Amino acid sequence: MKKVVKKLVFWFGVGLISISSFAFVSGYFEVSKNLDIFTSLFREVNIYYVDETKPGEMIEKAIDSMLKDLDPYTTYIPESEIEDFRFQTTGQYGGIGSTIRKREDYVIISEPYKGFPADKAGLKAGDKLIEIDGKSVKGKSTQDVSSVLKGQPGVEVNLLIERPGTEGYINKTFTREEVKVKSIPYKGMVADGIGYVRLRSFTRNCSNEVKEAIMELKDENELKGLVLDLRSNPGGLLNESVNLCNLFIDKGQEVVSTKGKIKDWEKSYKTSKDPLDRDLPLVVLINQSSASASEIVSGTMQDLDRGVVIGKKSFGKGLVQQTRKLSYNSQVKVTVAKYYTPSGRCIQALDYAHRNEDGSVGKVPDSLKTAFQTKNGRLVYDGGGVDPDISVDKAPYAEILGSLVSKQLIFDYATQFVLDNDTIGAPGAYKIDDLLYEDFVSFLSDKDYEYETSTEKELAELIELADGEYSDFKDDLVVLQKKLLSYKEDDIHKYQSEISELLLSELMTRYHYQEGRVIASLANDPVLEEAIIVLNDKSRYDAILSGDKKSE
């Protein structure tokens, strides 16, 4: 223990000397002073505390607590999590190629990726992991299991699984591979002359993948318009957003600029190549989960009047992070700057620099938002995400849908369905008919998916209030409550259409992987339908971009 402490103190001392030298030169006396206090405290506690301590865990908790007061994007990445971080930036990792989820005391396979080890070894969604390389994983978290499954490609992994509908355990042995999750889960034609590309995230080289996808669509079709779907795209690499914009705008055009505390982060990012197609009519789809690099692309296309943005207001992340290497193969991802689209606006929604008294973070109020102008003079605003040129809202999910998903009942039904059916129809053609839906309802008959509606919550509060003030009125409310429950029992049929969409998505994933899920989701998509309408109406498309006509 004392040897460990001495080593930690030594390295803290080295850091202290380095930082102290920098601190006094730069006038950062507070940095030097507080680091000295922390080092002394850490040493004394670890030497004299009555029980054995865990220095590594103490330091990691201290780091996490310190960074928590900044913003959620400034994070410490220990060596054990480097593989996950690499996946976020490259889309690649060494592993079996599958997502997993927790189910009671065990972790189960939720989605094997097509063509990778888990899929080739015959693992299926719903398979329960009992042992990995002979060691029980009962009670382990998904993070614990993931860290074991991921690792050096070429290494053999042995799984003992339990499969629903199959007696006994099954052994599966396969070799880890370099897994590359596609940046583009689907591309295709969604209407006559209208191409579609969905981008999952801004990982390394994704702009070239989008370029190749567009070129393939052009080679095989007479392309007169393109839909670029960035919905639920969390962002990623800034340079890839610049390269993606370059596919549609001229060389030398500024896409984004950054400003930070350090002058080195006052940068301007411009396009460096001739565009793939500067005239192809373009619609960009966004929603409340489109963030960061997605907002750079959608905001730039809007600012330069290069494309029409459709959907819902984006997330509002206008902060730039950079990773800095630390000792012992760890890293810190730190927010170093804010970014600005070509019009000069920053779309950051939350002001982490000015917290409320309770420590919470507030959004930039409308009164402090500033108006900017696009290339054609249209008004756009900062401080709260990218506002679409045309807003299209999907109806909010009913509480019953949330219950069915959270209790994994749609997932479980799909697992049973796969056991009974070797194949189903093609994505886009296969539908959930009434017969299949009633089979699903029958499957739910002995399952618990209790949930509370907003009306129920408010009525329960009203009954509690009336109990003390209007006792006679309470009896009437209780009668109303019972009537409400009878209406609620029919929710499974009232929301058949919405539940069928989720059911279809899960079934398509089982038989046709990610591509099948995307195709299924586009079948009744009002946002995509609006995009197709706009691209087929040149006068409306031009009017939106010129600012001659306001479109709601």
Handedness of CA 176, 178, 184, 188 (dihedral sign): negative
* Reduced 3-state DSSP string for 284-306: EEECCCCCCHHHHHHHHHHHCCC
Helix (H) or strand (E) holding 135: strand 135-136
Distance, in Å, from the CA atom of 524 to the CA atom of 522, rounded to the nearest integer, reads 6
Q: How far apart, in Å, are the Cα atoms of 214 and each of 10, 19, 535?
A: 56, 50, 16
Active-site annotation, residues: 292, 303, 317
CB neighbours of residue 514 within 10 Å? 19
Quick one: tokens of 192? 């006559």
Q: Within 13 Å, how many C-alpha atoms sit on residue 391's CB side? A: 10
User: Are 443 and 417 a contacting pair, CB within 8 Å?
Assistant: no
Distance, in Å, from the CA atom of 535 to the CA atom of 310, rounded to the nearest integer, reads 11
Distance, in Å, from the CA atom of 490 to the CA atom of 46, rounded to the nearest integer, reads 61
Closest CA to 148 of 139, 157, 61, 528: 157
Burial class from Cβ neighbours inside 10 Å (0-12, 13-18, 19+) for residue 176 reads buried
User: Are 480 and 462 a contacting pair, CB within 8 Å?
Assistant: no
User: Are 392 and 527 a contacting pair, CB within 8 Å?
Assistant: yes
Distance, in Å, from the CA atom of 113 to the CA atom of 187, rounded to the nearest integer, reads 17
Closest CA to 509 of 165, 134, 99: 99
Please state whether beta strands 371-373 and 98-103 pair in parallel, antiparallel, or not at all (unpaired).
unpaired
CB neighbours of residue 31 within 10 Å? 15
User: Are 56 and 328 a contacting pair, CB within 8 Å?
Assistant: no
Quick one: tokens of 84? 């996950």
**Coil, strand or helix at 528:** helix
Closest CA to 164 of 407, 417, 408: 417
Whose tokens are 């930036």? That residue is 89
User: Are 105 and 139 a contacting pair, CB within 8 Å?
Assistant: yes
